[in-house]
C-alpha cells in the first residue's frame, strides 16, 4: 500500500483518530477524533508528520504524490462547505496551522483567512454582507502571511497602520472603516513589493503551499529548537500541518471566540473554566491584546459572561465539555468559535495544569470513576510536585501589596525586577534571583522566563502566553496586572498608587493570589495533606523501590520522615565536625603530629558524635540509617584567612607558622582527587575507629535502654580497590563486635561502600566480596567519569548545555549513557558476587525523576535524596513501576 | 593416589625433575635433575611447596602422613651415606635449606651441620679425625640454629666468642683451639637456656623438625614478604624444604667451597667464572666475610686459583660446566664443595646476569646452536634493557677517582652518600638521589638498595649479597672496595689516600669499571650496536605490535628513531607554547577579552607552530605522527610570582590588576577536571583552528615542495562525549580540506581522539562514529578511574604500595583490573562501530613491560613511550607475541 500523506475529517467522518498523534500531531488527531464523536468541527485535513520528516530528509522537497492528495482533500472540504477555493463568488477560506506530537504552545506559526485576494474578497463581502469585516480579514491575512511566510519585517506594516490611524485621527483599529482597510491592503502589498522585491501571492494555491512550507520551516526555527531542547523533544518527530475551513468569531455581536478548560487548571476544581471575547478572532484571546471575559456566571466580573450573552451556545459548549471529559478521561483545553450563533470546536487537547490542579483532578477522577488509581498516579508528573514542595508566603508576615493581577501560576517567589529576557538570563547566570516583568510575553522571552524565579505581566489573561508557559514550567506567574504601567525606556514600572519600582528592586509575587508585594516576604513550608496525601498513598501502593533521604541531623530526619522517607541513605558525618564546639577539637586532631595527640582530640569529639547518632536513630524509629564515615580532605577544617589563623593560634596555643605550615602541607592541587575518603581512614585509622565506635555505642545504647530495633549501615567512602575496604572493614568489625559484646545486646550491622569512583564500579565484583551494600555516589561518580569538577565546570558547562553538546547538566539528571552504564555494570557485577547485596543511590540524582526511573529499571533497592525531594522520588518510582 | 609430600634424590636416581620447580622449588628440582644426569650430588630429599601451602592453610600444622614420609626418606639417605642420623659412632649430619619456586637470594634461612649434639660430635671427631673441626662445626650449628629456629639474639653468642678470643689473647676465629670451641658450645647452650628459658634441643629429630618449621616460618617473615612484593611473587607459591646430607669444605687444605657462573654474569663472556675459598664452608663465600679467589688461572690475582691448587677437581668442575650448559641451555649459577679432594655439586640454577650479559649470552647461544631466536628474545627481560639505555660516564669528563672496587653491577650514577638503608629510603622519598655505602650488605638492607641510585660496599666479592642483589635490580654497584674504610659512627668513609667523604657528599660510581669518583660526573648516551642490535632485530622480527614514541621536538624525534620508534604516538603541542619567543604571544591571546585580539595573537604563534611541525615531519620521514591539540588549562601559561606579573604588565602594557584579575578568573579548584583539552577547543575554537592550520600547512608544504609522504593524525584531547568530537572534527575537516585545496596536493589525514576519561571509554562505540583513531591516555585515565591526582597522591600512595593495598603504583604499571578493563572495553566498543579503527596507547605505561604485554593481548596497533623506553617496549612486544 502506498504511503498516505493526508488525512481528512469533516461531517462526522474522519480518517484519523486521537491515538494517531505521532502521525497527525496532537491538534490533527484530536480534530479527527472530535469529528468522529459528532462534535461540530469545521472540515479540513491534516498533512502527516512523516511528510515533515521526509521534507527535511530530502533537502526540503515534498513527496511526489503529496500535491495530488492535498488537491483531492481540498475538493472534499469544498464539497462539504459548498464553497470553492479561489472562487470569486463563494470562496473557501482556510486556516493553516502546525500541530506537533507534543503540544508546543506559541512555538509554531499560524495563518488565518488564507485564500483571500482582490477577487475573492468580493465573494466574502457578498457572503458576509460586511465589507469592513472582509477587508479587515484580508489585511490580517496579508500581515500574517507576509510576516510568517515571506519574512517581511512586521513593523513596516504596523507603521503603515499607525499612520492610517493618525491620518484618520483615530486611536483604535475598530474605528477604521472598510475603505481604510482596503487602502491599507493595497499599501501593505506595495510595501512588501518594495521591501522584499517580490509581489504578495494572489493565487490561493500558491498561498496554500507557501503556508504549508512555512509551517514545516518553523519546525526548524530557533524558538522551536530551543523549546525542543528544553523539553527533550527529538527533532525527528516533525510537525503535521492542519488545513481547515475558516469560521469567524468576528462577524458581529452574534459571533465570539474563546478558550476553556473543562476544569480549573490552576486549582483543579471541577468547574467549567473559560474565557471568551465577543466579535473577535481566536488569536485575539491567546495574544492577550484584549482582556477576555469569563464564560460563566459564577466567575463574571465587569462584562456579562457568555452564559448570559450567548446562552444557547453556552449550553451546547457545556454539554460538549461533558462529552469530551468522558471521552478523553482527562481535563481538556479547548478552543471554540461562534460564527453567527453557531458553535464550532477548533481544538481539544489535554490541558496543562498546575501541580495542585493535577493532583486534585487525578484524585477527583478516580472518585468519579473516570480513571483508576494507576492512571491517576501517572497523571501527575513527578517534577511538578516540586511546585508543591516549595514554600508559600508566611501568612503572619507583613505584606506591602502594591498591585494585584491574575493568579496565573501558583508559588511564592522574591527577586530583583528585570525587564528583558536576555538580562534575566544573564543575571540568573551570575546566581541572582530575578523576576521578569513584561507588558506581555512572547515566545522570544522563553529563555528569560526559564531563568527567572517568577513572571509578572501587565496584560493578558489566564490563558495568555505568559500564563500558559509559566504553568508548564511550574513557575510562579502573576499575569494581566493592569495595576502596573511598565516603562521599558526608564527601566521601571509604576503602580496605580504611584509606587515606582526600578530595575534591581526586590519584589515578591504570590502566584496563588495574584499579589505583587514590595520587598522580600518570608515563606513557610507546604502542607501535604488531603488529595496530595491520597495520591502519594496510591503511589506508594504501586511503587516497589524504596525512597530514603539524605539527612545529617535529627531535624532533617524528622522533616524527611514527614515527607515519607523510608530511611536515611546518606548521613554525612563531616557536617557534624563543623559545629562550633567541635571544630576546635577537630583542628587539634589535625594539628597533632603524633597518634597520641590525635586520639586525645578524637576522644573529645566521640561523645558528641555518639549524641548525633542517638538523635538520628531515635528520629528514624528503626528505619535503616546509612552513615558515611569522614569524607572531605582535612584541609577543609582549617581556616584560610590570616585573622582566623591568628585566632586559632591563640586558642590552640600553636604558633601561627606551625598552623600555616600544616595548611601548606595539606594543600592539594586537585583536592577532589586527593587525600580524602577511605584514604584518610587508611592513613589515620583512629578517625574512622572513633566514628565506628560512636555509631555502635549509640545503636547499642538505644537497643539496650530504649528497646529499639536498629541495623546501622556503616558506609566507607571513596573505595577504589577491594583491599582498601577489606582493611577498613576488618577494623570496623573488630570494634563493632567488641562494643556489642560489651553492651551484651544483639545488634546487627552492615558494612558497605559508596561506589563513587569508576574503578570501584568496574571492579564491583571484587568489592562485593567485602561490601554488604553499595550506595552509588553519583555526584562524584559523574565528576570522575566525565573528568569534570563541579566547582569549575561553570566556565563551560552552561555553554555546553546551551549549545546542545550535552543534553542536560549531568549533575542534575544522571548521564545514563555514560555514568548510568557504569552504575548498571556495577550492579550486575556486585550481584554476581553477592546475590543479595543492597543497592541504592545517594547522589543528588536520587531526587530527579528521570534518574529515579532509571534506578528502578536497573533494579536498585532504593534511591536517597534531599528531604524536599522525597515525594518527587516516591512518585517517580511509582511511575517507573506502573510503566513496567 | 595419595598426595606425595617428599621427593628423594641420590646415587644417580631422583624422584624429581628440573621441570618440577613449582612443587620442589628451584633448588630441589635442580638437585634432583643434577642427580639424574649423573652429577655428584650429596643425597637428600625435598619436602614439597604444597606442604608449605597446607601448613599455612591449616593453622601451622603438617599433613598427617608427612612425618612417616620424612622418616622413610631419611632412612634412604642413611643407607646411601652409610651413616645414621643421631648415631653416636657414625652420625649423619644434614643441611636444611629453603627452596622457593623463584630464586630469592639471601631471603631464606639455612641451617648446616644439623644432627650434632654432645654425643654425635664424638662420632664426627672419629669420622674426621679432627676434633677442632668437629667442635667448630658444632658451635656453628648452635649459633645458626639458635638464631634462626629459636629466635635467640645472635649478638649474645657473638659476644661470648669475642670474650673467649680476648681471654685467649687472639684476634681470629682460626686461632681458637678445639677445647676453646668445646667450651664455647657449652657456654652458648647455657646462655640460650638463660635468655630463652628453654634448653637447646639435643635430640636430632627434634632439631630436624625445628629446622623444617623454621624454613616454612621464614616464608612469612618480613624480608620474604617485602621481596615477594617487590618481585610480584604470590604468597600462595610457598617454599620447599631441602634436607641434604652434609659435605664439608672446611676439613683441611684438600677441601674447598665455591660458587661459579658458567659464563661471566657481568659481561656475558663465554668464560668459566667462579670464586672459591680453601678450607671454608659455603656460607663463608656468599657472606663476604673472607674475600674469595678466582677459580681459574686467567683471572687469578694474589692467591693461586683453584685450577692450580686443586687441578683434578677443577677439571671435573669444568666438564660439569659443559654438561650443565648443554643440559639446561642457559647460563648456570652453581655452588660446589670439595671434601678431601672429592667434588660435590650443591646447587645449580639459571644465573642472574646484567643486561649486557643477558644479551650477549642469548645472542652467543643462538650462534652456538644451543637455543633458537625466539628463546633468545625471551631470555632478556624487557625491564633489564633499562640498564643499557641509561647513560654512562662521559669519557671526556675529568674524573677524580678516589677508590677502586669490583665492577659488581654496571651503570654510572651520582648521588649523596648515605650509610643506612632506612635513611637511604627516607632521603630517596624526598626526591634526593643517594648512594648507599655499607661495609657489606645483608637482606635487611634490600629496601635501601632499592631506593638508592647505586651501592658501594667495602667488603664482599662479585657474588656477595650486594653484588647479586644489585645485578638483579639492575642497580649500579661497586663491591669489595677495600680502598675505603667505613666509619658508621662518624658517618663518613676514608679512602686509602686519606680523602674523607661525609654523609651527604656527592660521589659517582662507575659500576662497569668499579670506580668511585668524588663529585658528580657528566654522562653520555649509550651505544646500542652489536649484540644488542642483533637481539632487537630478532625482537622486531617476531613482534606484531608497533612501537611509537612520545616526542615534541625534532631532536627527540631523531633520538627516538635511533631507538627504533616507528612513528610519534603523542606530540604535545603545549610545550611549544612555552618557548621564550612564543609565551608573550600566548599570554597576549589569553589576556585578550575579544576574539579579534586572540586571533591577532594566534597569528603570531601560527608560523612558529608550523615550523615545529615541519621539523618533526621531516625527522620522521613519512612515519605516522599523532599531534595532540592544546591540552592544559590556560592559567598554566600565566605567571604566578608577583615579580613576573609586574614584568608581564610592563611588556604587555596591561595593568597589573587586569593580569591578576585574569589569573584569578582562571583559577580552578581542580584544574585536572577543569577547563582544558577539547573544552578549550569548544569555547575558544580559534586556538584549535590555528593549530590545525599549522599542522596541515606544514604537511602540505612538505608534500608539495619536498615530495614527502605523510598522513598527519590530529588528536583531540579530553573528549567525554561524541558531540564534542563531532563539533571539533567538523571545524578541523573544513580547515584541512580548504588548505589541501589551496596547496593543490593530495594529503590524507586522520582525526581521532585521546581516550582519557572513563566516559569516553564507556561510550567508545558512539565516539568511534567520529574518531578515526583512539589513543589511550592512560595517565589521565588512571587519575580519573581511581579518582587519584598524580600531583597529590604522594601523601598516601607510597603507604598504599608499602602496605600492599595496591600491588604497584598504578602510574608506573597499568592497573589491568580497573583501568585496563576500561581500555579493553573501549577497544571492543570502538571496533564494533568502526572495524578498522587505529588503536594505540600514549600514556607512560607504553614503556612498562607488563603494560606493553597487556596492550598486545588486547590487540592494540601500537604503544607509544618516551624515546629511551622504545627498545624496552619493542622487546616486551616481542615477548608478548612469542608467548602467544
Cβ contact (<8 Å) for A679 and B757? Answer: no
Question: How much is the average pLDDT of A523-539?
Answer: 88
Percent with pLDDT over 70 in chain A:
97
Averaged pLDDT for residues A316-337: 96
> Which phi and psi (to 5°) does residue B56 adopt?
-75, -30
Grid coordinates of B98 = 629453603
Annotation marks residue B477 as catalytic: no
Is 0.90 topped by the overall pTM?
no
| Max Cα-Cα span within chain A | 105
Burial B204-236 (b: 16+ CB within 10 A, else e): beebbbbbbebbbbbbeeebbebbbbeeebeee
Handedness of CA B640, B644, B645, B651 (dihedral sign): negative
> For position B286, what pLDDT does the model report?
60
Task: Identify the residue whose cell numbers are 650486594.
Answer: B466
Distance CA(A284)–CA(A302), nearest Å, equals: 19
**Between chain A and chain B, how many beta carbons pairs sit less than 8 Å apart?**
165
Beta strand B111-114 with B239-245 is: unpaired
pLDDT of residue A444 exceeding 80, the answer is no
Instruction: Using the Cα atoms of residue A380, residue A386, residue A389 and residue A390 in order, give the sign of their dihedral.
Output: negative
Task: State chain B's maximal CA–CA distance in angstroms.
Answer: 104
Give the minimum alpha-carbon distance from A879 to chain B in angstroms, rounded to a whole number.
28
Residues of A in contact with B726 (CB under 8 A): none
CA B590 from chain centre, in angstroms, equals 45
Tell whether the torsion through CA atoms of B112, B115, B117 and B120 is positive or negative: negative
SS3 B170: coil
B139 pLDDT band (50/70/90 cuts)? very high
Task: Dump pLDDT digits (tens) for A670-701.
Answer: 999 999 999 999 999 999 999 999 999 999 99
- CB of B116 within 8 A of CB of B140? no
**Chain B interface test: which of A229, A673, A801 (most B C-beta within 10 Å):** A673
Summarised one tens digit per residue, pLDDT across range B419-473 is 999 899 889 888 899 999 999 888 778 889 989 999 999 987 776 778 877 876 7
Contact predicate A461/A373, CB 8 Å: no
Q: Which residues of B touch A668 (CB under 8 A)?
A: 789, 791-792
From chain A, the residues in CB contact with B784 under 8 A are 673, 758, 784-785, 787
In order of A118, A730, A746, B112, B330, the CA distances from A733 in angstroms are 92, 5, 14, 45, 52
Least-confidence region, from A668-677, A844-853, B660-669, B861-870 = B660-669
pLDDT over 90 percentage in chain A: 68
Whether B525 has a pLDDT exceeding 80, the answer reads no
SS3 A693: helix
- Of the candidates B532, B559, B560, the residue with the CA atom closest to the CA atom of residue B385: B532
**Residue A504, φ and ψ in degrees, nearest 5:** 95, -20
CA-nearest residue to A782 within chain B is B759
- In chain B, whose CA is at the least distance from the CA of A791? B669
pLDDT score, position B407? 83
- Cβ separation A758–B675 shorter than 8 A: no
Indicate if the pLDDT at residue B106 is higher than 80.
no
> Do residue B758 and residue A804 have CB atoms under 8 angstroms apart?
no
Q: Tell me the Ramachandran region of residue B229: left when phi exceeds 0, alpha when psi lies from -120 to 50, beta otherwise.
A: alpha
Q: Test B784 with A787 for CB contact under 8 angstroms.
A: yes
B204-217 pLDDT, tens per residue? 999 999 999 999 98
Strands B568-572 and B546-550: parallel
Distance from CA of B422 to the nearest CA of A (A): 20
Selected for mutation to probe chain A from B678, B679, B758 (highest A CB count within 10 Å) is B758
Task: Tell me what pLDDT residue A108 has.
Answer: 61
Most confident of A800-809, B189-198, B294-303: B189-198
- What pLDDT sits at residue A88? 94
A125 vs A647, more confident: A125
- pLDDT, position A225: 79
Give the pLDDT mean for A591-602: 90
Calculate ∠ Cα A697-A700-A701, nearest 5°: 80
- pLDDT for residue B797: 86
Active-site residues of A, by number, are 465, 842
Q: Which of B674, B795, B821 sits opposite A792 (nearest CB)?
A: B674
Average pLDDT over residues B697-703: 96
Q: What is the pLDDT of residue A460?
A: 75
Q: Measured at the alpha carbon of residue B231, what is the angle toward residues B807 and A674, in degrees to the nearest 5?
A: 25
Q: Which residue has the cell 482596503?
A: A182
Residue-wise pLDDT for A383-423, tens only, equals 888 778 767 888 888 999 999 988 888 889 999 999 999 89
How is residue B655 written as a grid cell? 595593568
Q: How distant, in Å, are the alpha carbons of A32, A36, A39, A102, A467 from that of A348?
A: 10, 13, 11, 13, 18
Task: Please tell me the least confidently modeled range out of A119-123, A444-448, A878-882, B566-570.
Answer: A444-448
* Angle (nearest 5°) at CA B329 between B324 and B330: 85
Q: Which of B842, B855, B856, B879 is catalytic?
A: B842
Q: Which of A718, A723, A815 sits opposite B805 (nearest CB)?
A: A723
- Predicted complex ipTM: 0.80
- The DSSP 8-state label assigned to residue A816 in this structure reads I
Sequence-ordered alpha helix ranges (H) in A345-490: 355-367, 373-379, 385-389, 421-429, 446-451, 465-473
Contact B718 A759 (CB under 8 A): no
Work out the percent of chain B whose per-residue pLDDT is above 90. Answer: 69
The pLDDT tens digits of the residues spanning A223-272 come to 787 777 767 788 889 999 999 999 999 888 999 999 999 999 988 999 99
Predicted local confidence at residue B5, as pLDDT = 96
Contact between B515 and B483 (Cβ < 8 Å)? no
Can you tell me the mean pLDDT for A189-193?
A: 96
Amino acid at each position: 500500500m502506498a504511503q498516505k500523506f493526508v488525512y481528512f475529517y469533516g461531517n462526522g467522518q474522519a480518517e484519523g483518530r486521537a491515538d494517531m498523534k505521532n502521525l497527525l500531531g496532537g491538534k490533527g488527531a484530536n480534530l479527527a477524533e472530535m469529528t468522529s464523536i459528532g462534535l461540530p468541527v469545521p472540515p479540513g485535513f491534516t498533512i502527516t508528520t512523516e511528510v515533515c520528516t521526509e521534507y527535511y530528509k530530502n533537502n526540503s522537497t515534498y513527496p511526489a504524490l503529496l500535491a495530488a492528495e492535498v488537491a483531492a482533500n481540498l475538493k472534499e472540504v469544498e464539497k462539504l462547505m459548498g464553497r470553492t477555493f479561489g472562487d470569486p463568488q463563494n470562496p473557501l477560506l482556510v486556516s493553516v496551522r502546525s500541530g506537533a506530537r507534543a503540544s508546543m504552545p506559541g512555538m509554531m506559526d499560524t495563518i488565518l483567512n488564507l485564500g483571500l485576494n482582490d477577487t475573492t474578497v468580493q465573494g466574502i463581502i457578498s457572503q458576509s454582507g460586511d465589507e469592513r469585516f472582509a477587508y479587515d480579514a484580508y489585511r490580517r491575512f496579508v500581515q500574517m502571511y507576509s510576516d510568517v511566510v515571506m519574512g517581511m519585517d512586521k513593523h513596516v506594516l504596523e507603521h503603515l497602520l499607525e499612520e492610517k490611524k493618525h491620518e484618520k485621527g483615530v486611536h483604535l483599529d475598530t474605528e477604521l472603516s472598510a475603505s481604510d482597510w482596503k487602502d491599507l491592503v493595497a499599501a501593505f502589498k506595495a510595501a512588501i513589493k518594495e521591501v522584499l522585491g517580490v509581489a504578495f501571492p494572489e493565487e490561493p494555491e500558491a498561498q496554500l503551499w507557501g503556508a504549508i512550507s512555512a509551517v514545516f520551516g518553523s519546525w526548524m526555527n530557533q524558538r522551536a529548537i530551543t523549546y525542543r531542547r528544553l523539553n527533550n523533544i527529538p527533532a525527528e518527530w516533525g510537525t503535521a500541518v492542519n488545513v481547515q475551513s475558516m469560521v469567524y468569531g468576528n462577524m458581529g455581536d452574534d459571533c465570539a471566540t474563546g478558550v476553556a478548560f473543562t476544569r480549573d487548571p490552576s486549582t483543579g476544581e471541577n468547574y467549567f473554566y473559560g474565557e471568551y471575547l465577543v466579535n473577535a478572532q481566536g488569536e485575539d484571546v491567546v495574544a492577550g491584546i484584549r482582556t477576555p471575559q469569563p464564560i460563566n456566571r459564577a466567575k463574571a466580573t465587569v462584562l456579562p459572561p457568555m452564559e448570559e450573552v450567548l446562552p444557547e451556545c453556552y449550553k451546547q459548549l457545556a454539554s460538549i465539555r461533558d462529552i469530551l471529559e468522558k471521552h478523553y478521561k482527562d481535563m481538556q483545553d479547548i478552543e471554540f468559535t461562534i460564527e453567527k450563533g453557531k458553535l464550532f470546536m477548533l481544538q481539544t487537547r489535554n490541558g496543562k495544569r498546575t501541580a495542585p490542579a493535577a493532583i486534585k483532578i487525578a484524585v477527583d477522577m478516580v472518585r468519579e470513576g473516570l480513571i483508576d488509581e494507576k492512571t491517576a498516579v501517572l497523571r501527575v508528573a513527578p517534577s511538578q510536585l516540586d511546585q508543591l514542595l516549595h514554600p508559600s508566603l508566611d501568612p503572619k508576615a507583613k505584606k506591602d501589596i502594591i498591585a494585584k493581577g491574575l493568579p496565573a501560576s501558583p508559588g511564592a517567589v522574591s527577586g530583583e525586577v528585570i525587564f528583558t529576557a536576555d538580562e534575566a538570563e544573564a543575571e540568573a547566570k551570575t546566581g541572582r534571583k530575578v523576576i521578569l516583568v513584561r507588558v506581555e510575553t512572547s515566545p522570544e522571552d522563553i529563555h528569560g522566563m526559564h531563568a527567572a524565579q517568577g513572571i509578572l505581566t501587565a496584560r493578558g489573561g489566564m490563558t495568555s502566553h505568559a500564563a500558559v508557559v509559566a504553568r508548564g514550567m511550574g513557575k510562579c506567574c502573576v499575569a494581566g496586572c493592569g495595576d502596573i504601567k511598565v516603562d521599558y525606556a526608564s527601566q521601571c514600572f509604576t503602580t496605580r498608587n504611584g509606587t515606582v519600582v526600578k530595575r534591581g528592586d526586590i519584589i515578591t509575587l504570590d502566584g496563588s493570589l495574584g499579589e505583587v508585594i514590595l520587598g522580600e516576604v518570608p515563606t513557610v513550608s507546604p502542607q501535604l495533606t488531603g488529595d496530595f496525601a491520597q495520591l502519594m498513598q496510591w503511589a506508594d501502593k504501586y511503587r516497589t523501590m524504596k525512597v530514603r533521604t539524605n539527612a545529617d541531623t535529627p531535624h532533617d530526619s524528622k522533616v524527611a520522615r514527614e515527607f515519607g522517607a523510608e530511611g536515611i541513605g546518606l548521613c554525612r558525618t563531616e557536617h557534624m565536625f563543623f559545629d562550633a564546639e567541635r571544630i576546635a577539637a577537630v583542628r587539634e586532631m589535625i594539628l597533632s603530629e603524633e597518634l597520641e595527640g590525635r586520639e586525645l582530640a578524637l576522644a573529645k569529639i566521640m561523645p558528641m558524635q555518639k549524641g548525633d547518632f542517638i538523635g538520628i536513630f531515635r528520629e528514624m524509629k528503626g528505619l535503616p540509617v546509612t552513615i558515611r564515615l569522614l569524607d572531605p580532605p582535612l584541609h577543609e577544617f582549617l581556616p584560610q584567612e590570616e585573622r582566623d589563623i591568628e585566632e586559632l593560634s591563640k586558642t590552640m596555643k600553636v604558633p601561627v607558622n606551625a598552623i600555616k605550615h600544616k595548611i601548606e602541607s595539606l594543600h592539594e592541587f586537585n583536592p577532589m582527587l586527593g587525600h580524602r575518603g577511605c584514604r584518610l581512614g587508611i592513613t589515620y585509622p583512629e578517625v574512622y575507629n572513633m566514628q565506628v565506635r560512636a555509631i555502635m555505642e549509640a545503636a547499642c545504647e538505644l537497643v539496650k535502654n530504649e528497646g529499639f530495633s536498629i541495623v546501622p549501615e556503616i558506609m566507607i567512602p571513596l573505595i577504589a580497590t577491594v583491599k582498601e575496604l577489606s582493611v577498613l572493614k576488618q577494623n570496623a568489625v573488630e570494634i563493632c563486635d567488641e562494643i556489642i559484646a560489651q553492651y551484651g545486646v544483639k545488634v546487627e550491622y552492615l558494612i558497605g561502600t559508596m561506589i563513587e569512583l569508576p574503578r570501584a564500579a568496574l571492579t564491583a565484583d571484587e568489592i562485593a566480596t567485602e561490601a554488604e551494600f553499595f550506595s552509588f555516589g553519583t555526584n562524584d561518580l559523574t565528576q570522575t567519569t566525565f573528568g569534570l569538577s563541579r566547582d569549575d565546570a561553570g566556565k563551560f558547562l552552561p555553554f555546553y548545555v546551551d549549545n546542545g553538546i550535552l543534553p542536560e547538566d549531568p549533575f542534575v539528571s544522571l548521564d545514563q549513557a555514560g555514568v548510568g552504564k557504569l552504575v548498571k555494570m556495577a550492579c550486575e557485577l556486585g550481584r554476581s558476587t553477592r546475590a543479595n547485596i543492597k543497592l541504592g543511590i545517594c547522589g543528588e540524582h536520587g531526587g530527579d525523576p528521570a534518574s529515579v526511573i532509571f534506578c528502578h529499571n536497573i533494579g536498585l533497592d532504593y534511591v536517597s535524596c534531599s528531604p524536599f525531594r522525597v515525594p518527587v522520588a516516591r512518585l517517580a518510582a511509582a511511575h517507573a513501576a506502573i510503566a513496567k
